[in-house]
Amino acid sequence: MTGRKFCRIWTIAYSIVLTAITAWILSDTFIIPDDVIEMPVQTKETDEDNTSAGADAVVTDTSYKDDDISITITTERYKETNVYIADVVLSDASYLKAGLAQNKFGRNIKATTSDIAEQCNAILAVDGDYYGYRDYGYVMRNGYLYRTVRGYEEINEDLVIYEDGNFGIADESTITAEELEAKGAVQIFSFGPGLVNNGVKTVDEDYEVVQSMLSNPRCAIGMIEPLHYVFVVSDGRTDESKGLGLSDLAQVMLDAGCTVAYNLDGGGSATMWFMGKVINYPTTDGEYHERRVSDIVYIGE
């Protein structure tokens, strides 16, 4: 065998192996379910209409009210962008919950926000932190600690929701998931960054340049005070709605009265769902459709 022929065969073999490895990595990241854990079943009874609406609830296209839950949704125009703001008041923190796609925890287990919301019998829902896109970052849902691996980014800020309904921003470099659990955490989301803390905006235009070069559809959740929350989703990447930067989003949360606010997964994932309908205009690659995600944050009985 000549040296030239050997080199050609070696190059072809190397290319095949490299292609196979690349395909496996992409499949592991985006397709193949991994480390699957069934989510503990919520045992509270719900109505047969596939939402947890109370029997005496008063419902309109943009509002919901019963003895324990009050939701009012408004649409505002901010910096050439449609912004959807849900003001939520609860009688108990147990009505603020999280749901997982297919009711399972694991990499690459996905469903649309609508499908997960219907599965959970939600009243109001937004997409969560898309934990399944990563294999790191703390994950706690409804009191169950699924993942305790610290993030590898320069900034790893988590949203912690405590049993009494209080919100906090935690830095994974300074506290473990187990320590947060011991402090009474029931939900931990690891997307970020924090937008507002102690009533102060914690991102600015300079930070925005590093975190995201473009204005985008956004999703965030904030607390005015325990049991009084704000869910926000903005459209983006369309002629109708330009989208928001992180600093803009933080200002929206401040203007809504939030003392703590946190950035959830945005872009094509950004979706607000209310009583069986998508409220905003989720887009992916310029087309209207919901992106499949790992999880949601929702209000439900």
Residue 58's pLDDT is: 97
- Whether residue 225 is contained in a domain is answered as yes
Residue 212's pLDDT is: 57
- Whether residue 237 is contained in a domain is answered as yes
- Whether residue 21 is contained in a domain is answered as no
- Whether residue 12 is contained in a domain is answered as no
Q: How many domains does the chain have?
A: 1
Beta-strand ranges (E) seen in 33-189 are 34-38, 58-60, 63-65, 69-77, 82-90, 96-100, 104-107, 111-112, 124-127, 139-141, 144-147, 157-162, 167-171, 185-189
* pLDDT, tens only, 90-112: 999 999 999 999 999 998 899 99
Residue 44's pLDDT is: 44
Using 50 as the pLDDT threshold, list the residues of the chain that sit under it: 13-14, 17-32, 43-48
Q: Tell me, what DSSP letter sits at residue 249?
A: H
- Whether residue 124 is contained in a domain is answered as yes
- Whether residue 1 is contained in a domain is answered as no
* Cα→Cα distances 64→93, 228, 258, Å: 17, 15, 21
Residue 20's pLDDT is: 40
- Whether residue 15 is contained in a domain is answered as no
Q: Which residues of 182-203 are buried (b: 16+ CB within 10 A; e: fewer)?
A: eeebbbbbbbbbbbbbeeebbb
Q: Tell me, what DSSP letter sits at residue 244?
A: B
d(CA 284, CA 183): 39
Cα-based angle 175, 29, 26 (whole degrees, multiple of 5): 150
- Whether residue 249 is contained in a domain is answered as yes
Domain of residue 259: give its range: 33-299
